[in-house]
């Protein structure tokens, strides 16, 4: 039983689908593991560390995947990269199938079993495999860190001999996994935090984290949550009321983090140009929904812009800006799922195709697209011409100049410095991810199996919030420590006129 770990080709993707810790555990399950050369460099994991954990290093993609029964990846690989895998091999990753049906059909045509981890049901048993939660949690944390890095003022209240500095006001829009972690992180940094959401359950979650809940709490709000806990598309009337309330609130904020999403739809537009213009110069907006079109009218996906002195950060793949931790958690998510697919005693694959986790996540099997959400375009895929060594997929169209992604040698300090520098300039390119196109017709990005009927009770909700925001903290120390990264250069801030807003 061979497991292959691919080096990511998607520009700006610095994560990797396995770590030395998970490699050792996969070997313990009876697998042999081949990691593609350089796969971990973006997350500061060298080939030697993978080798020490028991993996062999594949010098080419073809060599890495040859004879593989399972291929682990972060982004969807091109079918051509999978030449030489065993027939029916599982390709497990964040395959992002919506809007990419042709690629999925090509994977079917290549004879692999494509498994989309985003479709993992949000049930208790699968929490440990939930890549959406593990990555959104980190994105929420990192959004606040990015905002703090370009904010020209201190976050906490400071009482000094020279006088008192008031705390920053942070407003989080969308209190799902990312939003709750953003609230918790901003609170830890000492900001006065408020938050909004259209789901009533979010109110007590926000309050349990010490945030002030700001929302139009009408009848529509009381009905705004689906049985699965997701937000519904709100009516135009509600959106108008919400915009009015938001407009007054935003004008007084220093930092705004937007995370609002509706499964399968473009991100709701929550902040207009006028609202941005109502904010004081020096304020910062981080739009975590940039990849799905943005919650902010002025957001440019993949870029940092400045408008009337307000910095708008439109990074996509924000979790990829904290790659070592993101890879650590993502790899554990994958390991947990793969463990359910292996008979550890017999040391061989033993897939239960009737398992709800398998049924929910398998997109292709036996040459066909089998997932119910993709039945319509499941025309027989043309045979895929496979190359011996896979070509690098075309780069994202976003130009990358001053603020490169934190990959490989670029590393965190350089990227942060770049982000900091970028804050002083308008229109500086940031991350290089191509924005995902949300599929307008699709109501639900997760399968119906994920729906749970009972609303959360207050104590359960508070517990769940703690759990969600503490995922990263609760994670054990990585088995292999990276070499000490160079220390972050001292933050140099542009000399902007200061004074309380």
- Are residues 39 and 53 in contact, defined by beta-carbon separation less than 8 angstroms? no
The active-site residue, picked from 122, 166, 188, 269, is 122
The active-site residue, picked from 37, 127, 395, 444, is 127
Q: Is 49 a catalytic residue?
A: no
SS3 readout for 103-117:
HHHHHHHCCCEEEEH
Nearer to ligand NAD, 182 or 322 (CB): 182
Q: Is 127 a catalytic residue?
A: yes
Cα distances (angstroms) measured from residue 135 to each of 198, 378, 413, 422, 474: 22, 30, 21, 25, 14
- Are residues 2 and 23 in contact, defined by beta-carbon separation less than 8 angstroms? no
Given 16, 150, 256, 262, the residue binding ligand NAD (CB under 6 A): 262
Q: Which residue is nearest to ligand NAD (CB)?
A: 176
The active-site residue, picked from 9, 98, 208, 230, is 230
Residues 111-140 that bind ligand NAD (CB under 6 A): 122, 127, 130, 132-133, 136
Nearer to ligand NAD, 111 or 140 (CB): 140
- Residues 6 or more apart whose CB falls under 8 angstroms from that of 203 comprise 197, 213, 215, 217
- Are residues 342 and 2 in contact, defined by beta-carbon separation less than 8 angstroms? no
Nearer to ligand NAD, 23 or 206 (CB): 206
Stretch that binds ligand NAD, among 30-38, 193-201, 430-438, 472-480 (CB under 6 A): 193-201
Site track 218-257 with ligand NAD (rule: CB under 6 A), x = hit? -----------xxx--x-----------------------
CA torsion through residues 220, 221, 225, 231, sign: positive
Site track 164-183 with ligand NAD (rule: CB under 6 A), x = hit? ---------xxxxxxx----
Given 74, 112, 260, 396, the residue binding ligand NAD (CB under 6 A): 260
Stretch that binds ligand NAD, among 52-60, 259-267, 345-353, 477-485 (CB under 6 A): 259-267
Residue count of the chain: 501
Given 263, 294, 404, 429, the residue binding ligand NAD (CB under 6 A): 263
Q: Rounded to an integer, what distance in angstroms lies between the CA atom of residue 81 and that of residue 98?
A: 21
Given 11, 47, 197, 287, the residue binding ligand NAD (CB under 6 A): 197
Q: Rounded to an integer, what distance in angstroms lies between the CA atom of residue 26 and that of residue 339?
A: 8
Q: Is 130 a catalytic residue?
A: yes
Minimum CB separation from ligand NAD for residue 437, in Å? 17
- Both tokens of 315, joined, read 């990074």
Q: Is 122 a catalytic residue?
A: yes
DSSP codes of every residue in 423-489: HTSSSEE---PPPPPP-TT-S-SS-GGG---SPPPHHHHHHHHHHHHTHHHHSPPPSSPPPPPPPPP
Nearer to ligand NAD, 103 or 130 (CB): 130
* Contact call for residue 309 and ligand NAD (CB under 6 A): no
Given 14, 253, 259, 324, the residue binding ligand NAD (CB under 6 A): 259
> What pairing do the DSSP bridges indicate for beta strands 70-75 and 90-94?
parallel
Minimum CB separation from ligand NAD for residue 330, in Å? 15
Q: Rounded to an integer, what distance in angstroms lies between the CA atom of residue 56 and that of residue 68?
A: 13
Binding site for ligand NAD (CB under 6 A): 122, 127, 130, 132-133, 136, 173-179, 196-199, 202, 229-231, 234, 259-263, 268, 270
* Residues with active-site annotation: 122, 127, 130, 133, 230
């Amino acid at each position: 039983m061979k497991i292959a770990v691919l080096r990511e080709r998607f520009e700006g993707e610095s994560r990797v689908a396995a770590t030395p810790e998970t490699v050792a555990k996969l070997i313990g399950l009876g697998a042999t593991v081949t990691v593609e050369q350089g796969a971990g460099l973006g997350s500061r994991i060298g080939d030697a560390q993978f080798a020490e954990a028991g993996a062999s290093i594949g010098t080419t993609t073809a060599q890495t995947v040859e004879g593989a029964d399972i291929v682990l990846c972060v982004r969807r690989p091109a079918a051509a990269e999978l030449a030489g895998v065993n027939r029916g091999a599982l390709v497990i990753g964040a395959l992002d199938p919506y809007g990419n049906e042709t690629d999925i059909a090509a994977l079917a045509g290549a004879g692999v079993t494509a498994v989309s981890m985003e479709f993992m049901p949000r049930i208790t048993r699968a929490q440990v495999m939930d890549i959406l939660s593990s990555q959104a949690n980190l994105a929420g944390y990192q959004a606040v860190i990015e905002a703090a890095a370009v904010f020209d003022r201190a976050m906490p209240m400071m009482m000094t001999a020279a006088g008192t500095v008031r705390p920053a006001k942070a407003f989080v829009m969308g209190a799902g996994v990312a939003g709750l972690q953003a609230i918790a992180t901003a609170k830890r940094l000492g900001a006065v935090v408020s938050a909004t959401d259209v789901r009533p359950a979010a109110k007590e979650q926000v309050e349990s984290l010490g945030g002030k809940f700001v929302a139009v709490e009408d009848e529509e709000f009381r009905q705004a949550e689906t049985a699965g806990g997701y937000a519904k598309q709100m009516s135009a009337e509600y959106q108008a009321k919400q915009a009015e309330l938001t407009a007054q609130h935003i004008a007084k904020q220093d930092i705004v983090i937007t995370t609002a999403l509706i499964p399968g739809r473009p991100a709701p537009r929550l902040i207009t140009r006028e609202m941005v213009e109502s904010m004081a110069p020096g304020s910062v907006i981080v739009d975590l929904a940039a990849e799905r079109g943005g919650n902010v009218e002025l957001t440019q996906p993949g870029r940092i812009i400045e408008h009337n002195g307000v910095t708008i950060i439109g990074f996509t793949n924000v979790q990829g800006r904290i790659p070592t931790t993101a890879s650590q958690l993502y790899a554990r998510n994958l390991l947990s799922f793969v463990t359910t697919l292996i008979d550890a005693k017999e040391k061989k694959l033993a897939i239960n195709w009737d398992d709800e986790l398998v049924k929910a996540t398998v997109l292709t099997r036996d040459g066909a697209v089998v997932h119910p959400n993709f039945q319509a375009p499941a025309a027989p895929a043309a045979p895929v011409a496979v190359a011996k060594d896979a070509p690098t997929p075309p780069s994202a169209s976003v130009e990358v100049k001053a603020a490169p992604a934190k990959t490989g040698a670029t590393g965190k300090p350089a990227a942060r410095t770049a982000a900091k520098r970028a804050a002083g300039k308008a229109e500086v390119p940031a991350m290089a991810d191509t924005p995902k196109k949300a599929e307008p017709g699709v109501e639900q990005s997760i399968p119906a199996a994920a729906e749970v009927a009972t609303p959360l009770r207050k104590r359960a909700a508070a517990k769940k919030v703690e759990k969600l925001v503490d995922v990263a903290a609760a994670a054990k120390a990585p088995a292999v420590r990276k070499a000490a990264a160079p220390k972050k250069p001292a933050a140099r801030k542009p000399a902007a006129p200061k004074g309380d807003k």
